[in-house]
Structure 1
């Protein structure tokens, strides 16, 4: 979570009492407006607002997915409630003023915003993979490895790995691509103690979340976590979004067991529909085409279905 001097998308809301300090492809960060220059460095709290924007292949697409920001936020909050083994960055979003309870989150973004404490974020995306797919599958075809980790021969696209693997990435500055790195490189970035803690926490959280998802008939194939250090205590804290459709790959367990093709086995509860359509209708040059109504509706339905299945189990 760092500041950016880029121009925010037109969809970014202006909020009374809050100053926009960062606008990403999906999320916007605000700090409380004060007489001093507001920034993430000086603020103790940050408002994390999830928009309805949807991105693919490093482009923000039009139109957005209606309700997506609220669905992502609801799912994150649900997971934060369940993952009690590590402190998270959420803080109370209401306060008592005299005898009146006052909401701290502006009404215009209620439902798609989280009030969080600011942290010293680690420059690492803590990726855990339980299944072989995506970029990992492409690498495996060439080297029988994923991010340098050797795997058994004979695996197929979508197969479950013998055990989950930790494949961290370096969070690149704005405008650059994140880069897969080795565990040894994470040691160089954050030191051996924190590097080991991030790895162990990520694997433990993945195991817990995967077990919960299985009870809902859903497979958690892979995900990424982000952590930061509490500025007063130095304790490692779970941050950002967690286990959402945008940060994780979820599959229908029944389809994975019975599907006869990679497409039917790994029909995901995320924006893969968008990626597939864009790949078929855009060569990557210039501005991406607008998404058809049916693609937008199908994507929104997949986001809603995942939330319903997980939280109703």
Structure 2
């Protein structure tokens, strides 16, 4: 039986910023990332949350950070006790869902890499024959593999929806050199992750990365190649021409699309069946990618 979803953390007296999923506590030169079990879709945080989801996200990110040894990242420790926590901190609630990380100057763009024609990219292609202004061959089908991975940045929104922008817009904002480096890094990480995931039976259709600057150098931050930030498809079920079954939160989006919700009002509560099936998909992605058993 799954435990109840962990929706919000509390560390008395520590400054905190709460995102859609993570609570980020400021300890001066270090931050504590706490991945809750909140789940969002269409820019809304949904109820009731997915039990243990935050642990899955944290442990998959930990796996990739450790695997990409040649790429600098912000992870310092998986142990929140490495920080001066308040005496009343609930360490059991935090178990498996925390990362102690370096504080960086966050680059204000999502670094999106697309390897397959899906989601908003498919809609864009149907309308324009292009994805984010990048022209593609005629006659492509939904879920087709792209001729080469596409880098399609987006603005980072504190609230509301991230907005796709051109690479030229990104270069104008942060400079040619940094934009070029982030594009190359993003495609490199996607290709390395995609090759490994395919060996484990998962197609990495697309993903998004975040980077921060530390002493002027870009390093990988936040989460990496998780079911929240990526589209994961079971390779043995892959069939171009249709939408694919997923091992990510697309399952929740698909259920919401079957309801009468207008996306502008309070979203419907997720039924128990959807909650548990989503949890199973996240667990399956974790186990396939890492080869590890879930220890919670």
Question: TM > 0.5 between the two?
Answer: yes
Deviations 1:59-93 (A, max 9, x none): 11111000100011000000100111211001135
Quote the offset at 1:251 in angstroms.
0.4
Secondary structure of the 2:11 match is: coil
Q: Does 1:282 align with 2:260?
A: yes
Match of 1:205 in 2: 189
User: Unmatched 5+ residue regions in structure 2?
Assistant: 1-5
Match of 1:27 in 2: 22
What are the residue-to-residue correspondences of 1:296-311 with 2, within 5 Å?
296-311=275-290
Quote the offset at 1:11 in angstroms.
3.1
Match of 2:236 in 1: 254
TM-score for the superposition, normalised by structure 2: 0.90
Match of 1:164 in 2: 149
Match of 1:13 in 2: 9
Secondary structure of the 1:179 match is: coil
Quote the offset at 1:94 in angstroms.
5.4
Quote the offset at 1:103 in angstroms.
4.3
Match of 1:153 in 2: 138
| 2:200 aligns with one of 208, 216, 222 | 216
Secondary structure of the 1:111 match is: coil
User: Unmatched 5+ residue regions in structure 1?
Assistant: 1-9, 33-42, 96-101
TM-score for the superposition, normalised by structure 1: 0.85
Quote the offset at 1:110 in angstroms.
2.1
CA contact (8 A) 1:282 1:289 kept: no
Q: Does 1:244 align with 2:226?
A: yes
- Counterpart CA distance in 2 for 1:141 and 1:166 is 19
Larger radius of gyration: 1
**Change in CA separation of 1:188 and 1:260 when aligned onto 2, cut-off 3 Å:** closer
Match of 2:73 in 1: 88
Match of 1:3 in 2: none
- Counterpart CA distance in 1 for 2:79 and 2:44 is 35
Q: Does 1:71 align with 2:51?
A: no
CA contact (8 A) 2:78 2:98 kept: no
Q: Does 1:177 align with 2:156?
A: no
Match of 1:99 in 2: none
| 1:273 aligns with one of 247, 251, 269 | 251
Secondary structure of the 1:91 match is: strand
- Counterpart CA distance in 2 for 1:235 and 1:307 is 30
Larger RCO of the pair (alpha carbons < 8 Å, separation 6+):
2
Match of 1:49 in 2: 34
Q: How many correspondences in the alignment?
A: 280
- Counterpart CA distance in 2 for 1:130 and 1:260 is 13
